[in-house]
Amino acid sequence: MKIVFATNNAHKLAEVRAVLGDKYEIVTLSDVGIIEDIPEDGATLDENASIKARYVYERTGLDCFADDTGLEVEALGGAPGVHSARYATDGHDFAANNRKLLAELADKACRKARFRTVISLIRGGNEQQVEGIVEGRIAMQEAGCGGFGYDPLFIPDGFDVTFAEMSPEEKNAISHRGRAVAELVKIL
Ligand code: ITT
């Protein structure tokens, strides 16, 4: 069965294909002729996931899903949250985002954080949402070169290494996205 994953993030695509790829033919935005950036102006992850999925459904009529993810840091009142992609700059500058996060936490005792992923699925015109959360903490410095985004700074609870130090399989088994995709599988 064919389904469109409404993302421009190649890392997300690889993670989701690793879990769903043998059951579904996951096609990308460019495969269905959408090359422009989808505007993400929602106030929450739920809204943005929905905006992205609806954008694709309205233009293609195809079954599709979208993922919106945020890193929520307790001592920063839940920031960067829905602004995770553009935390330090206007673009998706992972290194600048990580530098800013370390600077903001420099004088904070509590480094508790969580990743949250919301997936909006539109199938046969009906929309459903699922969520995945992983709790953890922000490391004192970057470690590892796997993953993407904030992975070099995020240590999930129960581990002493960052997501960037794990294999893709290890990350997917416990991550926000891995958990959201497991919920997605239940409703697909
Ligand atoms: P699409 O909207 O095209 O799917 P995006 O990169 O803009 O891609 P999000 O808005 O969902 O995706 O993600 C916001 C940012 O959060 C993203 O740019 C990364 O910096 C970070 N992020 C998302 N998932 C992550 C993960 O699994 N590990 C580390 N950082 C992640």
Please indicate, yes or no, whether the overall pTM of this predicted structure exceeds 0.85: yes
Ligand 1 centroid vs 178 CA: distance in angstroms? 14
Q: Return the residue whose CA atom lies nearest to atom 18 of ligand 1.
A: 85
Locate the ligand 1 atom nearest the alpha carbon of residue 154 and give its number. Answer: 29
Which uninterrupted H or E stretch holds 10? Answer: helix 10-20
Ligand 1 centroid vs 70 CA: distance in angstroms? 7
Which uninterrupted H or E stretch holds 173? Answer: helix 168-174
pLDDT score at 21: 82
- Which residues are designated catalytic? 68
Domain segments of the chain as ranges? 2-187
Residue matched to tokens 């979208």: 66
With beta carbons less than 8 A apart as the criterion, state whether 69 and 131 touch: no
Contacts of 153-156 with CB under 8 Å at 24 or more apart are 153/98, 153/101, 153/102, 154/71, 154/113, 154/115
Locate the ligand 1 atom nearest the alpha carbon of residue 66 and give its number. Answer: 4
Cα 53 off chain centre by: 14
Distance CA 65, CA 51 (A): 10
Ligand 1 centroid vs 94 CA: distance in angstroms? 10
The CA-based angle 7-9-179, given to 5 degrees, is 75
Mapping DSSP to helix (H, G, I), strand (E, B) and coil, where does residue 16 land? Answer: helix
With beta carbons less than 8 A apart as the criterion, state whether 3 and 63 touch: yes
- pLDDT tens digits, residue range 122-180? 999 999 999 999 999 999 999 999 999 999 999 999 999 999 999 999 999 999 999 99
Locate the ligand 1 atom nearest the alpha carbon of residue 175 and give its number. Answer: 27
Ligand 1 centroid vs 61 CA: distance in angstroms? 25
Q: Mutation test of ligand 1: which of 9, 11, 64 has the most ligand atoms closer than 8 Å to its C-beta?
A: 9
153: Cβ contacts below 8 Å, ≥ 6 apart: 98, 101, 102, 138, 139, 142, 162
pLDDT score at 91: 82
SS3 content of the chain, % helix, strand, coil (to 5): 40, 25, 35
- pLDDT tens digits, residue range 16-28? 999 998 889 999 9
- pLDDT tens digits, residue range 73-84? 999 999 999 999
- Asked if pLDDT for residue 92 goes beyond 90, the answer is no
- State which fold the 2-187 domain adopts: Maf protein (3.90.950)
Lining ligand 1 with CB less than 6 A are: 7-9, 12, 67-69, 84-85, 92, 94, 97, 147-151, 175, 177
Which uninterrupted H or E stretch holds 17? Answer: helix 10-20
Residue matched to tokens 């269905």: 32
User: Quick one: average pLDDT of 48-60?
Assistant: 97
